[in-house]
Amino acid sequence: MAEPNHARRFTVLWVVASLIATPLVIVLLGPILPPGNGSQQASGHVTDNTVLLAMATPVLLLVVIYLIYAIIVFRQPKGGVLEGPAVRGNQRLQTWWIVVTSILVVSLAVYGTVRLEEDGAGSGGGPSPVVVPSGKKLKVQVIAQQWEFTYRFPEYGGVEVPHLELPVNQLVELHVTSLDVIHSFWAYQLGVKADANPNVDNVVYVKPTHEQTFEVRCAELCGIWHGAMFDHGHVVSQEAFNTWIAEQQTKYAAATKALPPYSKTYLPEPTRRAE
Ligand SMILES: [Cu+2]
């Protein structure tokens, strides 16, 4: 019996499977990929994750289908101990392999670089971000310390509060810093995970796109109560935010007076906690 053309048979199998699976992955898995659509930046991350997954799908299928094909078709016959023919390279296959993988890797590197420039992947652009989005921004300073986050609003008299509320559809300029050790400000649903380092002003832009409750965690092991650095933040209407911030200004008026003036970074001082 003549040996079938395995290369052609396998290629057809793989191409057909990829053509079916890739659109399914984009349509079915794309919308449920993390971190959701809590902010413009989070939606951007979902797009990036979808692109990566779509490009990885044919690669995964290549490996898995080849494995299954080999297990079934190239099985050693019962009782026989056979040596395969000696294979010493395949010029065509090797050329294709190098060309295709190079294109994949280089195009992903370009895509990643462009996307990183756009929003710093929510991890912050340091004290002077390369790209600054245009438009009116609400400045909020995120101050990490063992073991809580506090938030300071320079445009509202420098009031510092223990919980975070943000107005919906408003571009926010977060200034993430720390008073002691290294922490990481992680607001999962907003697509923000930014290093909070002492003496560093890490700027992150985020625009929440709907009213919601989001989680705030510390994402950098920062001491014995690291796990307790957890809170919920809220994205509310502009009116609700105005009311809330006015309340905070009244509530913390005395504390605000005792605080050092607003600055990009601070030195640790136990007396300057908001609560
Ligand atoms: Cu921490």
Could you tell me the residue ranges of all domains in the chain? Answer: 6-74+94-122, 138-272
CA of 65 to the centre of ligand 1 (A): 45
pTM for the full predicted model: 0.84
Residues by chain with Cβ below 5 Å of ion ligand 1: 183, 218, 222, 229
pLDDT digits (tens, 9 = 90+) for 170-193: 999 999 999 989 999 999 999 999
pLDDT digits (tens, 9 = 90+) for 24-61: 999 999 999 999 999 999 999 999 999 999 999 999 99
CA of 39 to the centre of ligand 1 (A): 23
CA of 161 to the centre of ligand 1 (A): 17
pLDDT digits (tens, 9 = 90+) for 62-74: 999 999 999 999 8
Cβ–Cβ < 8 Å for 165, 244:
yes
What are the beta bridge partners of residue 141? 152, 175
Residue 3 DSSP SS3: coil
CA of 101 to the centre of ligand 1 (A): 40
pLDDT digits (tens, 9 = 90+) for 6-25: 989 999 999 999 999 999 99
Query: Which residues make Cβ contacts (< 8 Å) with residue 126, sequence separation at least 6?
Result: 200, 202, 203
Widest CA span of the chain, in angstroms? 92
CA of 8 to the centre of ligand 1 (A): 56
pLDDT digits (tens, 9 = 90+) for 83-129: 778 888 889 989 999 999 999 999 999 998 888 877 666 778 888 88
Tokens of residue 129, six digits: 């971000």
Neighbours of 263 (CB within 10 A): 13
CA of 29 to the centre of ligand 1 (A): 32
Length of the chain: 275
Tokens of residue 101, six digits: 């993988």
Give the DSSP H or E segment for 58.
helix 40-73
CATH topology of domain 138-272: Immunoglobulin-like (2.60.40)
CA of 76 to the centre of ligand 1 (A): 57
